[in-house]
Amino acid sequence: MDIFIQVVYFVAAVLFIMGLKKMSSPVTATGGIVWAGIGMIAASLVAFFEPGVFTHTSNVVLIIIAIGIGSAIAYITAKRVQMTDMPQMIAIYNGMGGGAAAAIAAVELVKMAGGHGGGSAHELSSTAQVLAVLGALIGAVSFSGSAIAFAKLQGLMKKTIRLPMHMVINSGLFVLTVIAGAIIGFSGDVSIQLVLLFFILALVFGVLFTIPIGGADMPVVISLFNALTGLAVAFEGYVLENAAMIIAGTVVGSAGTLLTQLMAKAMNRPISNILFASFGSDGGAAAEEDIEGSMKEIQGTDAAIMMAYAEKVIIVPGYGMAVAQAQHKVSELTKILEARGVKVMFAIHPVAGRMPGHMNVLLAEAGIDYDKILDLDEVNPEFPTADVALVIGANDVVNPVARTNPDSPIYGMPILDADMAKNCIVIKRGKGSGFSGIENHLFYADNTRMLYGDGQKAVGELISGIKEM
């Protein structure tokens, strides 16, 4: 039976890896999710055949009930969630993964501590004991930190909070947590009270670590917590001697780490700056001082004429398009323009929206061909020859101040060169700054016109205007 269990775990691990690989492309992503799901089902079912599981029937019943409740909640929320709310759903689910890893560690550590209080001893190898503590620390921080990230993205926490001497407090709290963890990890005599204190310290540190980080950086933080959750799961897999958990956790941790690095690179900022500089909380006063000119409004009919007689149009989608659920209208606009012989392409920035791939998924959902969706390096050379760049709800990723003002918090960040198009039309609901709080100099450029209004309604005006020609 043991060989059968290990073979199933190995197959499940292979399915996890292949599924993740297929998720790297929109074309194969659906299949990747299915493969990974099959692997998860297989690993969950074979776990019931582990030695000792059926020793306590009540535990099996509780496991089945928990799986049923969790699956029902996941199914309902996944069916109802809007694409604009996907990042916070990922945050809270990722936090649950970290919390589960921490809970596994808690059970093992409490058993170990209980063995010295008169109960039966629960022995862990020295390595497993240390890894259990590391997994507990990382999982608990990921759990509480992800909860704060969810609250920020959901709008439940609308302000960043920076305590006096915040870095000193965080550093001191982290040192205390590590000391408590070291005592637990290397001591042969551990009290339940110390284990409880350790978890409280770790959870509080996760909260204090996350609350000063601005909302604009939350996607990067979520990605980092995803990597930490994977690492915690891998550690606890070693503690439980579960190969599937080790491999799955390692894969998730590696993917989360690479994604975090990719997003930080796309913002041209070191990860340390994102985590400790509170960017996005009060941003951009230095970038606003030298703004020249004014925003120039354009009506939908005039913008429609400009686009109808263009040879090349580049559409730059952003979070505003997602909020307005305008992707289907954008798809209709694309078809109308192409019917008139206009070449249409889409420019996607790695951090457009609230997570990597956010815009790609929205456009794919609306039926936009994948070959029309270009990333930053592919599309930037196209802007100087574009007659119109249509920006829908994007802000910081098209802000030219990133190239021109060393005092700007986003200076050096690679951006989409929408300002280099012959004409730029920006669809925007109002005159406010972007998610990071930085004023966008593109809106004041001589070749830019502002089309104010809800994204879906504004694109509908463009469609109506073109159809009337």
Give the per-residue pLDDT at 436: 54
Q: Which residue among 257, 276, 295 closes a domain?
A: 276
Pick from 276, 296, 326: which residue ends a domain?
A: 276
**370 within some domain:** yes
Among positive and negative, which fits the CA dihedral 197, 198, 199, 201? Answer: positive
CA distance linking residue 118 with residue 314, whole number of Å = 72
Look up residue 319 and give its two tokens: 């979070």
What pLDDT does 268 receive? 73
- Give domain status of residue 27, yes or no: no
Q: Is the dihedral of CA 29, 34, 40, 42 positive or negative?
A: negative
- What lies within 8 Å, CB to CB, of 373 at 6+ separation is 345, 346, 348, 360, 363, 364
Is there a contact between 319 and 355 (Cβ–Cβ < 8 Å)? no
Residue 224 located in a structural domain: yes
- Residue 358 has a pLDDT of 78
Please check whether residue 321 is in contact with residue 393, taking contact to mean a CB–CB distance below 8 angstroms: yes
Are 268 and 375 members of one domain? no
426/389 Cα distance (integer angstroms): 8
Active site residue 369: no
Q: Are residues 176 and 230 in the same domain?
A: yes
| 323: in domain | yes
From 291, 290, 278, select the one nearest 436 (Cα to Cα). 278
Smallest CA-to-CA distance from 423 within 324, 270, 302, 329 is with: 302
pLDDT digit string (tens) for 312-365? 999 999 888 888 888 999 999 999 999 999 999 999 988 877 677 778 888 888
Residues 265 and 299 in one domain: no
Q: Are residues 236 and 343 in the same domain?
A: no
pLDDT of residue 346: 95
Shared-domain flag, residues 368 and 337: yes
Q: Which of 232, 255, 276 is the last residue of a domain?
A: 276
Helices (H), 115-125: none
Based on the fold, state whether residues 154 and 249 are members of the same structural domain. Answer: yes
Q: pLDDT tens per residue, the chain (469 residues)?
A: 788 888 898 899 889 889 888 887 777 888 999 999 999 899 888 888 877 777 767 778 888 999 999 999 989 988 888 777 778 888 899 899 999 999 999 988 888 776 544 444 456 778 888 999 999 999 999 999 999 989 888 888 877 777 788 888 989 999 999 999 999 988 877 788 999 999 999 999 999 999 888 766 777 888 889 999 999 999 998 888 888 888 889 988 988 888 888 888 777 777 776 666 544 444 444 444 466 678 899 999 999 999 999 999 999 998 888 888 889 999 999 999 999 999 999 999 888 776 777 788 888 888 888 889 998 889 999 999 999 999 998 888 898 888 888 877 778 888 899 999 999 999 987 665 555 567 888 999 999 999 998 889 999 999 999 988 7
Question: What three-state secondary structure class fits 244?
Answer: helix
CA distance 100 to 94: 10
Indicate if 383 and 450 belong to the same structural domain.
yes
The residue type at 448 = T
Q: What is the pLDDT of residue 280?
A: 42
Convert the pLDDT of each residue in 430-455 to its tens digit: 665 555 567 888 999 999 999 998 88
Residue 22 lies in a domain: no
- Please name the residue that has the structure tokens 């059970």: 107
321 and 365 share one domain: yes
Q: Helices then strands (H, E): number in the chain?
A: 18, 6
Give the structural domain span for 146: 81-276
Residues 269 and 294 occupy one common structural domain: no
192 in any annotated domain:
yes
Tell whether 71 is covered by a domain: no
- Cβ 435 vs Cβ 280: under 8 Å: yes
197-212 b/e with 16+ CB inside 10 Å = b? ebbebbbbbbebbbbb
| Same domain assignment for residues 220 and 317 | no
| 184 belongs to a structural domain | yes
List 217, 369, 371, 396, catalytic entry:
396
User: What pLDDT was estimated at residue 118?
Assistant: 40
CATH of the domain at 429: 3.40.50.1220
Domain tally, the chain = 2
Instruction: Give yes or no: residues 315 and 383 share one domain.
Output: yes
* CA nearest neighbour of 214 among 269, 170, 262, 279: 279
Residue 216, pLDDT score: 66
Indicate whether 227 and 296 sit together in one domain: no
Structure tokens at 408: 């700007």
